[in-house]
Structure 1
Amino acid sequence: MILVNSAICNYFFTKEIRKEKVKENLTSNILFSQLIFIVIFITLGITCFYRFFLY
Structure 2
Amino acid sequence: MSGSIVTLVLKAVTLAMGVAVVVLSVLNRLDPNTGLSLLGIGLTSGGIALLRRQGG
Q: How big is each residue's C-alpha offset from its partner over 1:2-22, in whole Å with a ceiling of 9 and x where there is no partner? A: 24x143332112212x2x47x
Count of residues in Structure 1 that have an aligned counterpart in Structure 2: 44
**DSSP-derived class of the 2:52 partner:** helix
Q: Which residue of 1 aligns with 2:5?
A: none
Q: Which residue of 1 aligns with 2:20?
A: 9
Q: How big is each residue's C-alpha offset from its partner over 1:6-40, in whole Å with a ceiling of 9 and x where there is no partner? A: 43332112212x2x47xxxxxxxx11111111111
TM-score (structure 2 length as normaliser) = 0.56
Seq. identity, %: 11
TM-score (structure 1 length as normaliser) = 0.57
Q: Give the 4+ runs in structure 1 shifted more than 4 A.
A: none
Q: Which residue of 1 aligns with 2:55?
A: 54
5+ long unaligned stretches in structure 2? 1-7
